[in-house]
Structure 1
């Protein structure tokens, strides 16, 4: 009898195929949408997913100003950042940040779900978020992604 030899295929920069996807944020729950986007940016939707290689796709999010939160998060969720100065902690409620800069909500949500290293920073650069329904990436012919 002959032995069967199976080898695991690992992705590398030469073998990765990158696609462009566009996601409509209208009436999408923020956390669920961000989790799915983070999985696509990592490449977990592909059969040849390799953890140490950036094999993810590009994602464009439109209508970021029309996302929704569940429960009381719109009134109670606090986004904060630190300026680096003493007493420089700035806080803002989700409803105020959604009015002022709606892109930040999705960007911060997805960034928190990516790896905290140089590979995660490289994946994060493939995310493009826009408040309206227009985006400048029509030349890439993005496919509509439904959740």
Structure 2
């Protein structure tokens, strides 16, 4: 009896719709990362991308616990000397709430080729509208 490793023909990718309204950022991000990797499937293999596509809506309505709204910082380096831009979580939620979720999920995925390939299946939107209606994403509770 050998170990069965799935090939690309065995992998069936579903589209899942996750509503982030009222969810805590870190807890939601860890569950989204698990869905992207495919850990909820019986054919999960650590060295392959067997996960599903995840569409996240209402990213602007996530919440932070404690004082993280003012203490959590997001850095962006422009490439020029002395131009490290730093913003708090409160500013990021006002300007680009999609980046709050996507950066949290990206940090929870494997580093390297597998993580970059897995991260491409994440779609995050600030409001409740998304352009993936044709894929019929199934609502998923986290």
Instruction: Name the TM-score class by shorter chain.
Output: over 0.9
**Among candidates 112, 116, 127, match of residue 107 of structure 2:** 112
SS of corresponding position for 2:9: coil
Corresponding position of 2:123: 128
Residues 35-58 of structure 1 show CA distances to partners (whole Å, capped at 9, x for unaligned) of 000011011111110111110000
**Among candidates 22, 44, 53, match of residue 49 of structure 1:** 44
Runs of 4+ in 1 over 2 A off after TM superposition: none
Deviation at 1:119, TM superposition (A): 1.2
TM-score for the superposition, normalised by structure 1: 0.94
Runs of 5+ consecutive residues of structure 1 not aligned to the other structure: 1-5
Residues 61-112 of structure 1 show CA distances to partners (whole Å, capped at 9, x for unaligned) of 0000000000000111111121121101110010011000000000100011
**Among candidates 46, 49, 63, match of residue 68 of structure 1:** 63
SS of corresponding position for 2:108: coil
Does residue 17 (structure 1) correspond to residue 12 (structure 2)? The answer is yes
Measured in 2, the distance between the counterparts of 1:86 and 1:52 equals 38
Deviation at 1:121, TM superposition (A): 0.6
SS of corresponding position for 2:26: helix
C-alpha RMSD of the superposition: 0.8
Deviation at 1:7, TM superposition (A): 2.2
Corresponding position of 1:142: 137
TM-score for the superposition, normalised by structure 2: 0.97
Residues 16-41 of structure 1 show CA distances to partners (whole Å, capped at 9, x for unaligned) of 11000000010000000000000110
Q: Which protein is bigger by CA-based radius of gyration?
A: 1
